[in-house]
Amino acid sequence: MKRLCCFLLLIICLQIIDYQLFAQGMLNKKQLTYCNPLNLDYGYTPIPNFAEAGRHRATADPVITLYKGDYYLFSTNQWGYWWSHDLYNWKFVSKSFLEPQHKVYDDLCAPAVFVLGDTLLVYGSTQEKNFPIWMSTNPKANEWKKAVDPFQIGAWDPDFFLDTDGKLYLYWGSSNVYPLYGQQISRKTFAPIGERREMFKLNDAQFGWQRFGEYLDNTFLDPFMEGAWMTKYNGKYYLQYGAPGTEFSGYADGVQVSDKPLGPFRPQPHNPFAYKPGGFARGAGHGNTFQDVWGNWWHLSTMVIAVKNNFERRLGLWPAGFDKDGTLYSNTTFGDYPHYLPTGPQDHLKSRFTGWMLLNYNKPVQVSSTLGGYLPNYAVDESIKTYWSAATGNKGEYLQTDLGSVSTVHAIQINYADQDAEFLGKQQGTYHQYKLYYSQDGKKWTVLVDKSQNKTDVPHDYIELPEPVRTRYLKLENLHMPTGKFAISGLRVFGQGAGTKPDMVKGLVVLRTEKDKRSAWLKWTPSDKAYAYNIYTGIAPDKLYTCIMVHGQNDYYFKGMDKDLPYYFSMEAVNENGVSQRTPVMESK
């Protein structure tokens, strides 16, 4: 009996060692993929009036700048900034850029970030001539001083652009009345040179996507234009802007092009160039276009939640680039599914999507408890706006998802929702802790991910497994919440299902009447094998750069067209096993 006890103890010890080695491998393995929204330790809104419906995380208006081989990320009201060496692991640096005379909540709202020589410079939005331009040659160490104080232009949503001839320009504007503005600035003194010039306004009578509102119907307000960003490519100037409103699914970035930095500008035919009105997390507006260390283009932008406040938002990162004709594009296809991180020069017209499908859309769930109307299936309905909440934030609250059949799981994304959060403003030292289990039969469970010792804030935690697992059930068990209830807007499981891909979509019809050429009604025959559809559209058969993911319906009102251009459409069906063949491209005049 003694030998048997010793033998059993040895087996238990070996199992513990194996588990520890697996867990250590999880921590040490280099991440190859990422998933939007970006998993950053977002601060909570610092504005009390914005938190009356519930305190919540919020940021927007982001900029990533490559500086001395590292990436620096600034965004609205974070009381600091992040830096990264790989676009995945971000380290936060706490820094207030406000001084006592600045009587505002906005600490670097919609900041401008640019590099001059060996110096990184930052300037926040203000309507007054009372804000300095900050500079640093060692931002990792949080060493900053003033380059000029105050800067003599009050600019909201500013963007500084250094041209290849050494001249410096400022672009700015955020209004549903006034245009974007541009002006040359002295590179040495930062004093304005000449007069400001009007760049352009919106034209929603021609461009349907610029209409205000969730349904692009211009009710309530006229559309807003904001978020200027300039990029130069092959001698052309691409002035980008966000529209029509940051609180809507159709929040997007458009672009106009010129041969000169201050215009005149003309709209690029493919517009908006960054657009994501469908899927789990929507919106791709007010951001910036930058190059990584290999010269690949990326577009960073604002994603929309807008539940507890219109300005409840997150950040998303998209592969981008210029095609052979100089057309600026962003690839948002499967834009909130796992994508490969950059490892070298890439053609971003070719997808960076891993091919790992969502395995648990609207599949059965079990939970430990439910708070009011925050129902369990809201955690798997592919909407970041809805969420399940447990009755407490206590250890042991759990959410279990059933994939329906044994499938191959490659990655999991855990999207926390803010329910009864207590924080205003950026917090330090907060963290999530949990365990994630898997099972083939729902009875015998094995730990898949152990974050019981985690000390980081991971509101959109994304776990790429070192090796895929075969499983049917996954269970997320709460151990610690930074604040509020244990609430999940999306427990999203990615991999490969055990069945067949859906058949090609049948019966696609595009109805574009004479009454309003900005809009079309798309209809198709529903497929019992598909849970979603991707609609591809563009201004040429070989430029179907816009992709809209639609769940649980067989029609869609597309209201984002230029009334003067023909558009082209194709579709594919989506399920947990893959995507169908695309339909033949059809023209709609």
For the cut 80, the answer to whether the pLDDT of residue 22 exceeds it is no
Q: Are residues 397 and 528 in the same domain?
A: no
Instruction: Give the range of the structural domain holding residue 582, as residue numbers without chain letter.
Output: 506-588
- pLDDT tens digit sequence for 69-119: 999 999 999 999 999 999 999 999 999 998 888 878 888 999 999 999 999
Could you tell me the end-to-end alpha-carbon distance of the chain, in angstroms, rounded to an integer? 84
- Kindly tell me the sign of the dihedral angle through the C-alpha atoms of 231, 93, 77, 215: positive
Which of 340, 368, 385 is the last residue in one of the domains?
A: 340
Residue 102: what pLDDT? Answer: 84
| pLDDT value of residue 30 | 82
Name 286's bridge partners.
Answer: none
Query: What pLDDT score was predicted for residue 12?
Result: 43
Residue 41 is encoded by which pair of tokens?
């330790």
Query: Are 491 and 555 in a shared domain?
Result: no
Task: Give the domain CATH number at 285.
Answer: 2.115.10.20
pLDDT tens per residue, range 219-257: 889 999 999 999 999 999 999 999 999 999 999 999 999
Domain limit, last residue, from 465, 496, 527: 496
Q: How far is CA 20 from CA 310, 409, 447, 468, 476, in A?
A: 44, 21, 11, 18, 19
Q: Is the pLDDT reported for residue 370 higher than 90? A: yes
Query: Distances from the Cα of 112 to the Cαs of 127, 174, 287, 303, 318, in angstroms?
Result: 14, 14, 11, 19, 20
Handedness of CA 146, 150, 156, 161 (dihedral sign): negative
| DSSP category for residue 352 | -
Exposure of 523 by Cβ count < 10 A (0-12 exposed, 13-18 middle, 19+ buried)?
Answer: middle
Distance from C-alpha of 137 to C-alpha of 376, rounded to nearest angstrom = 49
Distance of CA 130 to the CA centre of its chain: 32
Q: What pLDDT was estimated at residue 106?
A: 82
Q: Are 140 and 83 in contact (CB under 8 A)?
A: yes
Question: Can you give the pLDDT at residue 101?
Answer: 83
What global pTM score does this model have? 0.94
Task: Judge if 203 and 228 occupy the same domain.
Answer: yes
Residues 287 and 373 in one domain: no
> Residue 487's Cα: distance from chain center in Å?
20
Domain identity same for 467 and 510: no
Q: Cα–Cα distance between 168 and 393 in angstroms, integer?
A: 51
Closest CA to 301 of 258, 243, 214: 243
Q: Which one of 496, 516, 547 terminates a domain?
A: 496
Kindly state whether residues 464 and 557 are assigned to the same domain: no
Element containing residue 147 per DSSP (H, E): strand 143-148
| Inside any domain, residue 567 | yes
505-563, pLDDT tens digit by residue? Answer: 999 999 998 899 999 999 999 999 999 999 999 999 999 999 999 999 999 999 999 99
Interval 154-163 mean pLDDT: 97
CA atoms 576, 578, 581, 586: torsion sign: positive
φ, ψ (nearest 5 deg) of residue 448: -100, -45
In the three-class reduction of DSSP (H, G, I as helix; E, B as strand; rest coil), residue 6 is classed as helix
As for how many domains the chain has, the answer is 3
The per-residue pLDDT of the chain, averaged, comes to 94
With a cut of 60, say whether residue 18 has pLDDT above it: no
Tell me: pLDDT of 14 over 70. no
